[in-house]
Structure 1
Amino acid sequence: MTKHTPNLKAAKITGGVASKLSHDSAHKHVSGTAIYIDDVPEPAGTLHLGLGLSTVAHGRIKSMDLSAVRAAPGVIDVLTAKDIPGENDVSPSGMHDDPILADGEVLFHGQPVFVVLASTRAEARSAARLAKIDYEELPPIIDIYDLDVETARQVTTPMVLKRGDAAKALASAPHRIKGRMELGGQDHFYLEGQVSLAVPGEDDEVTVHCSTQGPTETQHMIAHALGVPNHAVTVEVRRMGGGFGGKETQANQTAVLAAIAAKKHNRAVKLRLDRDEDMTATGKRHNFAIDYDVGFDDEGRILGIDYTYALRCGFSADLSGPVGDRALFHCDNTYFYPAVNARSAPLFTNTVSNTAFRGFGGPQGMVGAERVIDEIAFAVGKDPLDIRKLNFYDPMDKRAGRDVTPYHQKVEDCIIQRIVAELEESCDYAGRRREIAAFNANSRFIKRGIALTPVKFGISFTRTDSNQAGALVHVYTDGSVHMNHGGTEMGQGLHMKVAQVVAEEFQIDIERVKITATTTGKVPNTSPTAASSGADLNGMAAQNAARQIKDRLIDFAAETHQVPKDQVVFLPNRVRVGNQEISFNELVLQAYTARVQLSAAGFYKTPKIHWDRAKGMGHAFYYFAYGAACSEVSIDTLTGEYVVERTDILHDAGRSLNPAIDLGQVEGGFIQGMGWLTTEELWWDGKGRLRTHAPSTYKIPLASDRPKIFNVALTDWSEAYEPTVHRSKAVGEPPLPLGLSVLHALADAVASVADHKVCPRLDAPATPERVLMAVERMKKVAAK
């Protein structure tokens, strides 16, 4: 931060809460001066690692000849599982099923088997390819769509949510539909790949600069692998070039390997994966097979529903249990189910272990809910939006009790009706629906479609002990402030938001608050920056720390000037004490001279939440965030190609801490969700080899894929139902499912080929090939 001379007559501070500020590092991002792990100056003698990866999806290692690897130019050492001094495991679930390096058996194609330590990265990677490994190949399980969930191997204990008698409701319903939806996964495709730089210290100490969303978990994994106490390991990260959940657990393996090599050779060691290695060897969003059985009345009101959410977990548990849980938590989206039975099926496959991804299973749960709504709409011959509104949660309808989720939590803050009504009017949904019908009637090959879909997203970790955060705030004698907290910055603007909270508390300009790197050496025992909780938890912890210091300053000023405490008021860059005003800087210096502590550790834990997984009951979420999107598309029925013509979004961020950053999160989340459901296709061949492992074969949305007309707004009237930090709401994950509007607009366009007679059952990702195949199915329906 630059030196700042405050304007003591200003009516407001610059950059407090609710200010529309750019990201604190935006100017560094665009100028190339932002420092990422690979930009950290390497200590003299730094060595580099290269991964040796399995070439089969499932097999036993019969022999491993690494002599050519060791003899390659520049090679210092080759490490295998036997060189790990502590525990050969980086499992976040505690199931000890995720080895750092394969030992005797490989369970997916691309699994790390050994690492090469060399003078340069190029030498290490080149040498790794010289290994001669003989495998006894075993039959792999690659896909989940043909597996029987009753008998298939599962990586962890599934969960069941149950309320009411779903079987009875289904049996007695006037109408009933069964179906299945196949839903693809997604690669995180962060700009910065997995990377760690480990620097050995004295005795058992090691410092690791790591691109990780969970510095504390990474610290623990390194300590376990080295066989040392946690206090011997310091993990630091100033920023990541994207994370999206891909660096919550997946960063651990890279960090552990670098640390092991660094301590063995007492030299700094770096490991950076290239894009192909990263996509091959690290986990992704889970793909799902969603089976549904829904009963409904003549109007389209849901009476009972049964879901099975089968997810491809890969070879180990990782975070698949809680991901499957959260899918079930969101199988209702914004809809009330009078009777429901929903279960997860976390299935084992010989593929990379899937992991956290923005939304953490919630978006997959919503996909199932929205498919069911479409099925009902086609069955009763109504606009899907009418069926959505008919089935919304309605806390005002006390007699019917239409405010209880499948996990028995009441929805007390439901504002989806108002959001949808405002968006429906502002985007002229009804008028455009009529225009699209007229267009399609007169267009032979190009068809248009429109859909308006809602979002209700639960905010909290479902693991209760993760809902806590710490922060550290120092006020220096010149009135400048140093801020540190346990959250990590991955481009989402978390540090800026927390700095705004601190600035607001002290009533000082934002330039006076220094943002510093996240490190386990300052704030210990942190939760990962995930579950959209970064600003909620760390903002409250930083506010708590700032208030401790502020309270001490108030006590000091009141005592020194002999005035009541309520006559000490913090104003922009100054403090009124009785009938006089002094600058914030002057008060701080006076307090220091009087030996008042100007440093504080803050803490926050989310109240009210509790969860009993075995019973499937509890208050799983502190509150809900809401939003809605309306998208219009056009498809070419001869090729399956399509264009997103227009998208309108209205999203709920409560009292936004920073509307500029939050709007960016909504826009980016929507595009990422759209990409997941349309163009991003993960494809493994019969031998378990990921064939879409580079930008040449894996298609994330381009700037040219954005909607031609893109209108995005935050609600200007909502606020958090609970006392969150300044009544703001989380905005990291909730916008991603807004991309569902594009999938359903595509389905609407496809359905027009058969005059909306049947549900097109468009699976995702809805690539042009899938759209074309769905069009051909509709043509057959139309011909009958």
Structure 2
Amino acid sequence: MTVGKNIPHDSAVTHVSGESIFIDDRAFLKNEVVCGLMGAPIAHGRLKNIDISKALEVPGVLGIYTHKDLASNRWGAIVKEQPILVDDIISYESEPVCVIAAENYKAIEKAKQLIQIEVEEIEPILSLQEAIDREDFLSDEKKIARGNVEESFSNAEHTLEGFFENGGQEHFYLESHACAAIPLENNQIEVHSSSQHPSETQHVVAQSLGLSYHQVVCVVKRMGGGFGGKESQAAPFASLVGLCAKKLKRPARLIISKDDDMKITGKRHPFKNFWKVAFDKEGKILGYRIRLFSNGGAYTDLSESILERAMLHSDGCYYIPNVEILGRVCKTNIHSNTAFRGFGGPQGNATIESVIEEIAHFLKKDSLEIREKNIYQGDKLTTPYGQIVDNNTLPELMEKIKESSNYLKRREEIEEFNKNSATHVKGLALTGTKFGIAFTARFLNQANALVNLHLDGTVQVSTGATEMGQGVNTKIQQIAANAFGIDASLVQVMPTSTEKNHNTSPTAASSGSDLNGMATLIACNKIKQRLASVFNTLQKGEISPADEIEINSVEELDHIVFENSKVRDTKTSKEIDFKELISTAYFNRVSMGDYAFYKTPGLGFDKAKGKGQAFNYYTNGLAVSEVLIDRFTGETKVLRADVLMDLGRSINPGIDMGQVSGAFIQGMGWVTSENLTYSDKGVLLSHSPTTYKIPSIQDTPREFNIDLIENNTNDVCVHRSKAVGEPPFLLGNSVWNAVKDALYFANPSNASKLKLPATCEEIVTLLDE
């Protein structure tokens, strides 16, 4: 069995040796040009004129192109409203206005200084609250509801209300947006892109250049990180490099600098969520109303779907009998915010976890007690949108982590510490994740795979999944190797290309392995059926040289197994070498390649009604975090974090553990240190590694424990596995709640004011206003 083993990531060795090829590592082709972008100088206004005459005189500058050079200048993942290059209204500072093609980068920088952009300024909307007040929205109001919320408020012993506010987050992938284009004969173009969505990139490039889809091929070898930031926003950059290549009839590449990437591209959505909760004296939640407002930025992008997932995760891990969830996307004059690991789930989940801390403080109880009373358990398994939480492992996880983290004893120790320390204060919190796995847009839950079996017994697999470091290629490699009973080293997962795998969905929603792994397995099984039929025929007697083996595609052949590079009949105990069987099949003109398609069954969520089967299943997990805060500086140290997750039957436990630890730390960064700062003119000030703080090795928990429970019940996914990419991110929120817990010890009147991220400045202000 190859599935379930810890084989190394397929690029582990080449990453360490420096041999992995990313877009900008590709050797320059003959006559290849480099490209750069010129951005808008203001956050909001009307573009009146662009004068490029002087810039065109710079030696080495080959062309400067504006919106007038594009066949179509509108794109958008949901609503085609966003200009590739500004043509009228400027909607955020640094929004691309033109693209420059040159022989070298120095010429591009000189040209930028000579381009004259004439604008007429318009007052921008820069804050989320201002957009709410002005009712400047990018979406209609969405609603999910159950029961009678107003009645629960009227009848409850206690009610509380307030608001939760979180900031955005920069993806900070190590490889910024990068793409290259090669013009081919017959007006074709080949695009290489650091993209999570090759098909969308293909389509946007074709539309913007006035080409048909069959004239454009998008290839993705790998990305140096994505985290959602390359799901939609890679496409317009590819269009611009394609434009330069098409105009000049020369290969071109566009590599965005880290500073420009951070200024131009979208982030995780800031949210401001207004809530009211009803509960009894024991802390049982009786009713909950939440109104979510997300900051979509200048354009819609994926904001509507992100808001929807935030709403679908507003219950967290908790059963709420009466609930009303309302949501809208707000428009502001900053970069267009986009997909980010968790896709709205963290913002919805963080709110309910914060509310539980408020309930616990009000009742003077430990928040764990409140969570234990409200967690999905027994027959209380129906979500606000009507889906049943099948195979619910949340109570088991709760009981195990409560014991393994020694929560109750540590709570006593922390209370004693806080009574006696004049310089520091500690906090402890447990939070959970019940993350729904599937795209909420049903049509995206599909995938295809092409599997080619060669005469030497090796296999090539092509799917629509894109590798961004998360290990999807390695899991697909294991699935194919396991199917044929061969070593994983004999399987090569090929670069993703739209000519081999068409109309693919983005590698997102944590479903890359689920969808593409299942498609791969189906394709392998189709080939295996033919090979098993050949073997079965061989066993029946000699085949005359004049005869040819005929395949019986419907024959029941489950007794023929593929393992240890052999094919064996469990009934007769006869076996044949895998390579020998391949050779026999080839000489009998049997196909050893196949294509397969997979779509997730059973999904059906009615967005208008807010009801239905939104997800295929749930990935569950809990985390306990303990923090130590300096009362004078607000400096926070995470002393210990315990994470316990249900990942089903893991395809590669090592990769899954890596995903859990990475997601937790990234989530921890979002809730503590990663603060986006803008000027009063809408200029992003924290646009480089020197001004934006992601977690370093010094910020990781001093003690970090990760464990998985055994669960073989998930029969709706490939090999009973569960998705892992996004769910653990939400557990970083345990650190934020631990900070809030510490503030309740130090300054109870201010703790409820804590915003996310809980930076040192935020904490020290609340400790002593």
Flag whether TM exceeds 0.5 (same fold): yes
1:622 to 611, 616, 624: 616
| Aligned 8 A contact 1:484 1:517 in 2 | yes
Query: What SS is found at the alignment partner of 1:646?
Result: strand
SS for the counterpart of 1:279 is helix
Preserved CA contact (<8 Å) 1:623 1:722: no
Do the aligned residues in 2 keep the contact of 1:52 with 1:129 (CA within 8 Å)?
A: no
**Which stretches of structure 1, 4 residues or longer, exceed 4 Å deviation after superposition?**
756-759
Supply the distance in 1 between the matched residues of 2:621 and 2:749 (Cα, whole angstroms): 29
TM superposition shift of 1:404:
1.5
Q: CA deviation at 1:720?
A: 4.5
| 1:586-597 alignment runs, 5 A limit | 586-597=580-591
Moved more, 488-497 or 557-566: 557-566
SS in structure 2 of the partner of residue 223 of structure 1: helix
Aligned to 1:65: 51
CA RMSD of aligned residues (A): 1.3
Q: Is the CA contact (8 Å cut-off) linking 1:213 and 1:530 kept in structure 2?
A: yes
CA displacement, residues 519-574 of structure 1 (integer Å, 9 cap, x when unaligned): 11111111000000001000000000000000010111112222983442222110
1: CA distance between counterparts of 2:606 and 2:205?
A: 31
- Aligned pair 1:153/2:139, yes or no? no
Paired with 1:566 and 1:380, the residues of 2 have a C-alpha distance of 60
Aligned ranges 1:23-34 → 2 under 5 Å: 23-34=9-20
Q: Which residue of 1 aligns with 2:73?
A: 88
**Partner Cα distance (1:128, 1:156) in 2:** 36
Are residue 46 (structure 1) and residue 32 (structure 2) matched?
A: yes
| CA deviation map 1:138-187 (0-9, x unaligned) | 000011124436x5111123311111111221122211111011101101
Aligned residues: 753
Distance 1:121 1:388 in 2: 56
Equivalent in the alignment of 1:730 = 723
Written as runs of structure 1 = structure 2, the 5 A alignment for 1:316-395 is: 316-394=299-377
The 2-side partners of 1:96 and 1:465 are apart by 18
The Cα shift of 1:703 comes to 1.1
- The equivalent residue for 1:605 is 599
Q: Which amino acid aligns with 1:20?
A: N
Residues 648-685 of structure 1: per-residue CA shift (max 9 Å, x gap): 11111110000000000000000000000100011111
> What's the % identity of the aligned pairs?
43
AA aligned opposite 1:683: T
Q: Which residue of 2 aligns with 1:77?
A: 63
Contact 1:720 1:728 in 2 (8 A): no
Q: 1:772 aligned to 754, 764, 767, which one?
A: 764
Alignment pair present for 1:483 and 2:461: yes
Aligned twin of 1:8: none
> 1:119 matched to which residue of 2?
103
Deviation, 1:132, is: 1.4
Q: 1:757 to 1:737 in 2, by over 3 A?
A: same
Tell me the equivalent position of 1:434.
412
Q: Distance in 1 between matches of 2:724 and 2:402?
A: 22
SS at match of 2:140: coil
1:403 Cα deviation after fit: 1.6
Match of residue 10 from structure 1: none
Structure 2 CA distance for aligned equivalents of residues 121 and 216 of structure 1: 30
Match of 1:104 among 84, 88, 94: 88
Match of 1:7 in 2: none
| Equivalent residue number for residue 567 of structure 2 | 575
Q: What is the rounded CA distance, in whole Å, between the counterparts of 2:54 and 2:402 in structure 1?
A: 66
Q: 1:314 maps to what in 2?
A: 297
Structure 2: which 5+ residue stretches go unaligned?
Answer: 542-555
Q: Which moved more, 1:731-740 or 1:154-163?
A: 154-163
CA apart distance, 1:393: 1.2
Q: Call closer, same or farther: CA 1:122–1:295 in 2, change over 3 Å.
A: same
Q: Deviations over 1:606-645 (max 9, x none)?
A: 0111111111111000100000111111000111111111
1:417 and 2:395 are equivalent in the alignment:
yes
Q: Does 1:444 pair with 2:444?
A: no
SS at match of 1:664: helix
Counterparts of 2:677 and 2:604, CA distance in 1: 39
- What does residue range 243-254 of structure 1 map to in structure 2 within 5 Å? 243-254=226-237
Distance (whole Å) between structure 2 residues aligned to residue 386 and residue 758 of structure 1: 23
Structure 1 counterpart of 2:76, one-letter code: S
| Correspondence 1:491-640 to 2 at 5 A | 491-562=469-540, 565-577=557-569, 578-640=572-634
Question: Distance in 2 between the 1:251 and 1:21 partners?
Answer: 31
Query: Which amino acid is the alignment partner of residue 535 of structure 1?
Result: S
TM-score normalised over the length of structure 2 = 0.96
Q: Distance in 1 between matches of 2:713 and 2:106?
A: 51
In structure 2, the CA distance between the partners of 1:232 and 1:451, relative to structure 1 (3 Å rule), is same
CA–CA separation in structure 2 for the residues paired with 1:107 and 1:340: 36
Q: Following TM superposition, by how much is the alpha carbon of 1:759 offset from its aligned partner in structure 2, in angstroms?
A: 4.6
Distance 1:343 1:50 in 2: 42
The one-letter code sitting in structure 1 at the alignment partner of 2:270 is N
Does residue 454 of structure 1 match 2:432? Answer: yes
> C-alpha separation between the residues in 2 aligned to 1:47 and 1:165?
63
Q: Secondary structure at the match of 1:129?
A: helix
Within-5 A mapping of 1:283-322: 283-322=266-305
CA distance in 1, matches of 2:369, 2:453: 56
Q: Is the 8 A contact 1:719 1:729 kept in 2?
A: no
Q: Are the equivalent residues in 1 in contact too, given 2:714–2:721 (CA < 8 A)?
A: no
Look up the SS of the partner of 1:17 in the other structure.
coil
Q: Is the 8 A contact 1:213 1:528 kept in 2?
A: yes
Cα distance, 1:125 vs structure 2: 3.4
**How far 1:758 moved relative to its partner?**
7.4
On the 8 A contact 2:486/2:564 being kept in 1, the answer is yes
Q: CA contact under 8 A between 2:132 and 2:330: conserved in structure 1? A: no
What's the CA shift for 1:719? 3.0
SS of the aligned residue for 2:236 comes to helix
1:452/1:741 contact within 8 Å kept: yes
CA contact (8 A) 2:750 2:766 kept: no
Mapped to 2, the partners of 1:747 and 1:721 lie a distance apart of 35
Name the stretch that deviates more: 169-178 or 718-727.
Answer: 718-727
What amino acid maps onto 1:44 in structure 2? K
Quote how far apart the aligned CAs of 1:514 are.
1.2
Equivalents in 2 of 1:105, 1:442: separation in Å?
60
SS class of match (1:410) = coil
Could you tell me which residue of structure 2 aligns to residue 700 of structure 1? 694
Q: CA deviation at 1:57?
A: 0.4
Distance in 1 between residues matched to 2:201 and 2:749, nearest whole Å: 53
Match of 2:21 among 31, 35, 43: 35
**Structure-2 separation of matches of 1:213 and 1:739:** 24
Instruction: Report what 1:199 is aligned to.
Output: 182
Q: Distance in 2 between matches of 1:449 and 1:148?
A: 34
CA apart distance, 1:721: 3.0
- Conserved in 1, the CA contact under 8 Å of 2:131 and 2:332? no
The residue that corresponds to 2:553 in the other structure is: none
TM-score, length-scaled by structure 1: 0.95
Q: Does 1:677 align with 2:671?
A: yes
SS at match of 2:414: helix
Gapped regions of structure 1 (runs ≥ 5): 1-12, 778-784
Which residue is equivalent to 1:262? Answer: 245
Indicate yes or no: 2:202 matched with 1:209. Answer: no
